[in-house]
Amino acid sequence: MSSPDLSVLIGGVRFKNPVLAASGCFGYGSEMEPLIPASLFGGVVTKTILESRRPGNGAPRIIETPSGLINSIGLEGVGIDRYLDEMVPKLTGVDTRLVVSVGGHDIEEFARLAARLDRVDRVDALELNISCPNVDGGTDFSTDPDLAAATVRAVRRVTGKPIWAKLTPNVSRISVIGQACEKAGADALSAVNTFTGMSIDIHTGRMILPRGAGGTSGPAIRPLALAKVWELVRNVGIPVVGIGGIATGHDVIEFLITGASAVQLGTVLYIDPNSPRTALAGLTEHLASRGMSTVRDLIGTLKGRQERRPHS
């Protein structure tokens, strides 16, 4: 029996498999090459790109927890000019899709960046980081449905590339934000960004991160992220890309059954460089054991109450 077809279609772009590298955890796509070749993934989502170079927040910026990390990187990055000149060429000829994470201090910056990236053939899609918890106002774009929609509309006007809106889980109803993004022209939703968390140094009585709170990721948030994905797939008609504590083949399968069209691996890449290989192997084995010839036969097969809207 031949191996199952793992390809998925998201926003008109075909990915060879549904396992992607998450933004912020895989650099710009080439830095991890000695340990984790980018070609393992169906796609790589870059670190968030801004117009100008940004040093990020002061140290310490990462705290290890018993079940993951709390980070406050603060969108450190090289800026759009250096990204296009130095980083994109390194992925020329690499067999993976390139999804560029785009940030902005305001809607106009999101649009200006999208307009520049629209002219870059190597870029397959844009993920709008409207939900970063580690910069001032970073989550404003995805906690207000009107602001989220306005951002997507502004980007939609300047690019024909697929738009993925990356949503924060730190809201009471994530589907309200998702529906607003869908109506404004988003082709997919990435869910979720990190949950707000903090840690205290009990010896000094001070918060460890200079900003106080940061973004919590890793295994602890996986069930929470899965519930947010479940809410979204029942209420939107565009693909949802699941993110949050995904590490193993079991985790990937769980999100796909729930209705995610693909997933992103993040924190686990720091722990186990072999995780993309083992996750894909686990997914392939599961499909074969169930007699499924394609991963698309698995997506959205959750039994019980779901009332999922079909993709348009």
Which residues are known catalytic residues? 132
Q: Which two tokens stand for residue 77?
A: 């990055």
On the CB side of 93, how many CA atoms lie within 13 Å of its CA? 2
- Residue 9, classed as helix, strand or coil, is strand
Helices 174-184 + 222-233 axis angle, to 10: 50
Residue found by looking up tokens 């390139």 in the block = 98
DSSP calls for 32-58: TTTTS-GGGSSEEEPSPB-SS-B--SP
Cβ–Cβ < 8 Å for 50, 113: yes
- Tally of CB atoms within 10 A around 293: 13
Contact 165, 156 (CB under 8 A): no
Contact status, residue 223 vs residue 192, Cβ threshold 8 Å: no
Q: H/E element holding 13?
A: strand 13-15
Beta strands in the chain (DSSP E): 8-10, 13-15, 19-21, 43-45, 62-65, 68-71, 97-102, 125-129, 163-167, 188-191, 195-198, 200-201, 206-207, 213-217, 240-243, 262-265
